[in-house]
Amino acid sequence: EIRRTLNGRMNQGNAIILFNLGTTYLEAGEEDLTIQLFKEALQVELGNDSSPQELIKLLELLGLIYQRRGELGDALSCLSQAQAVAKNAVLPLVSGRLLNMMGNIHLRRANTPEMMRCFTEASRIFRTIPIHDGVLAISGYGFYCLSKCHPECASAA
């Protein structure tokens, strides 16, 4: 609060403090407060034209918290925003990793077309990166069901 008073609400140094407070509260199991602090830090970062990496980090962490809470729509929204930032910043490995994460959420939601779109795009990106092994991390309890519910997609998956 002192720093906000002295430097203004949108001072970039505030984002670091908000992020650190948020991670502390996350470790203490206070996810609601963590989300609130991370969202406030995100607003500060957006207002200061911060680096793509900082925006991606906040959005990805928010997405992971939402995913852990079972709030998959909010998780996808955050990860999708992070992926757009990574794509615009030409960070292909990060973009592919985020698409992979989104594909797994779509798998969990049994949204086969979006799952396949995310996994396909991530795979294409991974193949363009010489240092990457090109392997997707596909996980979720719904994977077996994919072959039963959507046999046309099972071979592509």
SS3 readout for the chain: CHHHHHHCCCCHHHHHHHHHHHHHHHHCCCHHHHHHHHHHHHHHHHHCCCCHHHHHHHHHHHHHHHHHHCCHHHHHHHHHHHHHHHHHCCCHHHHHHHHHHHHHHHHHCCCHHHHHHHHHHHHHHHHCCCCCCCCCCCCCCCHHHHHHHCHHHHCCC
Q: pTM score, two decimals?
A: 0.81
Measured in whole angstroms, how far is the alpha carbon of residue 150 from the centre of its chain?
Answer: 26
Q: What is the pLDDT of residues 19-51, one digit of tens each?
A: 999 999 999 999 999 999 999 999 988 888 788
Task: Determine the pLDDT at residue 33.
Answer: 95
97 CB burial (10 A radius; 0-12, 13-18, 19+): buried
Q: What is the pLDDT of residues 79-113, one digit of tens each?
A: 999 999 999 999 999 999 999 999 999 999 999 99
